[in-house]
Amino acid sequence: MDDIVTRYPGNPIITPAMIPGASAVFNSAVVRFEDRYAAILRVESKQGFQTMRMAWSDDGIHFDVLPGPILAPTEEPFTIFEEAIYDPRITKIGDTYYICYAAENRYGCQVSVSKTLDFRTFEKVAIASEPTNRNMVLFPEKINGLYVRLDRPFQPGGQGHIWMCDSPDLVHWGNPKCIIESRRFAWDQGKIGPGAPPIKTDEGWLVIYHGTTPRCNGLIYKAGVALLDLDDPSKVIARGKEYLMAPIMDYERIGDVPNVVFITSAIPDFEKDEMRMYYGGADTCFCMATAKISDLIEFARTG
């Protein structure tokens, strides 16, 4: 529940007022890179365009945002399928950092993958799904010799569950399995989807996901926790009954889309038993919270 999560008292850590020409900054990705924090920000301009921007921080709280967009498509087929890109997630595999993100186009929404070694130059890898899909996250290592991902294909009626599939090369994907479904009459009875990329622990793959509670005036976005088997992550070991985090602060309740907590990054410090969680608030600002890793694992086991 919210009582095991501690919000950073200076939230939000990034607001649109900090970025010239921005109307919102949210649902962004943060990772450790060398001795700093690297962030890829989802920035919406006052013209209404979606862009992604690079930012750097020494402490993971105070970020310097660089001018100009990154990952903007310049050649086919990306110019066709990446008309608007947003909601990045970053996973390090070996020495490479892979960025997964939503790619909106005339056919719907797909997911794309790019990569970088230094967060200064980027290379497009693939458009990794057909329409309509979103919220792709990669596991931080190959499993049985294959890349593995979680995502959230769309279903009729605004529903959506968490699926898993694998790939030999990040381009060709197969073996799709629905592994976590929304629950009738629970807090996550609406669409659910991956949040931060999975974190490997001794107890299993720790997955922080988002779930929605439908109400007469819209959806409330909350966060939940599940544990997946280390050897076969299609097997769900545990899943918390209650939500981990819900919008309670003004910056989570009031914004372009009210009542949203949307976790997109989780950075573990196993020595300190601490997880830093970065999240979008009300589709307007970017925030940070912490929790004990042991508490998150125990919370998942309350299901």
CATH number at residue 216: 2.115.10.20
Across residues 61-67, what is the average pLDDT? 97
State the total domains in the chain.
1
The first and second tokens of residue 132, run together, are 């309509």
Across residues 197-213, what is the average pLDDT? 98
From the list 146, 36, 46, 27, the residue with the least C-alpha distance to 89 is: 27
At 303 the pLDDT is 67
From the list 225, 246, 228, 248, the residue with the least C-alpha distance to 237 is: 228
Burial class (CB in 10 A: 0-12, 13-18, 19+), 242: middle
* Model confidence pLDDT, tens digit, residues 226-263: 999 999 999 999 999 999 999 999 999 999 999 999 99
- Contact between 111 and 134 under an 8 Å Cβ cutoff? The reply is yes
Cα end-to-end distance, the chain, whole Å: 13
CA 171, CA 173: separation in Å to the nearest integer? 6
The first and second tokens of residue 63, run together, are 């970020």
Question: In sequence order, what are the residues at sequence separation of 6 or more whose Cβ sits closer than 8 angstroms to the Cβ of residue 161?
Answer: 152, 153, 155, 178, 180, 181, 182, 191, 192
At 291 the pLDDT is 98
At 2 the pLDDT is 57
CA 36, CA 59: separation in Å to the nearest integer? 7
Residue 146 has pLDDT above 90, yes or no: yes
The first and second tokens of residue 227, run together, are 């544990």
Domain coverage including residue 74: 2-300
